[in-house]
Chains A and B, each alone.
Chain A
């Protein structure tokens, strides 16, 4: 376990260094200038030069990169160009809203997607299988922002059951929950489509094995076959699917935050990109990368708990 964790930590460091480097140069390749963005059309060359110097943008790109890495090694991700507050603090403050959305969305996705995947695998070729897979195909095909807009149109505009905005402006826990329902449901449904399709494939593969056929021939109850023999063995691929879709759900959460005007890391990064707030973009991408790597590491550890064979490898 110790060696495993050391390897994962090294993996994490290399991944993050790569992501930081790519992000650093990528955001600077986008046309546009943070100083110009902040000061507008009338900014004099002197004012622009002064602000660039203040923001450290007057150095060459390589010097900026060297300074940036030096600061990162000291735990300093810089200050936001727009707000002047520490970039890491801005990102950390925006994380809880995104985490609530991602966890609520993933909970819905797992609760809907896994049972549907199992049912369609067990009833392979039936009407239910075809119908659910068609709906899942639609769920995957429609982009999540379209599902969000459609959700607003149906549930907020026509039925008036739920608010159109993804966050409340006061009113306590119940109001906050009410505003969370629609974005979380849209995210959940979108991710559930993936989980249902992949769970079905994993289950079909397991159901096709000889030991399932033998169990059936021996008259083992169907519920035992499905839950104890098939699903238990399909759990490792299903867990890895959930890990992969968690990364997808984080990406989708960014779009959902924008559609539903909800605060979070997505809204923060989007605004940072449009205002060329380089430190904030870097901190945001780094935070997302850390989350994805940590979730995948946690799932790797969970595999071992679920499948004893993996512990000895």
Chain B
């Protein structure tokens, strides 16, 4: 992993950097929040490891600024023992996890691996059901043929694909696909029709079952 590491105590900085490099990571070590912010803006990292208390700019301020810039890389805070408020503020500022000092280096490495694993899990590119394959990155639906999907259709199908064991109500779909938009049940029904016809046009062996009471659910067609 390529890691950005901000820590003002240089003994600790050197030890951790040496250890992480030994574990096969690439480390960019900086001394304060301002330098961390600058590095995060000019380079891409797989994770950031940051102390809270630092001169010039503290870790919390730097973390907020990094998140405000749209950067979603996994972040881990290093906090002083017993400082509950540090941990709470750190997580609220946009960190994904924290470690209290003093910490074991093995644990640090394990937490970094865990963050990396989660990040990868979130980036599922292709979802499938029967012969149906949804490529979320290309916004394309494939079975016998391929067909393009709109962003709303992709999100709607994602909801259906991740809940194939139950019905999803129109209200639930409105919350997931049209959050904060003035869309109603009619919109949901229209988009369900769009998706259904597209599935049929590529000869998918699945269809969307619509139940007035319970909602919508993906079903496999038998013997196509």
Tell whether A and B belong to one assembly.
no
Which chain A residues have a beta carbon within 8 Å of chain B's beta carbons? none
Residues of B within 8 A of A (CB): none
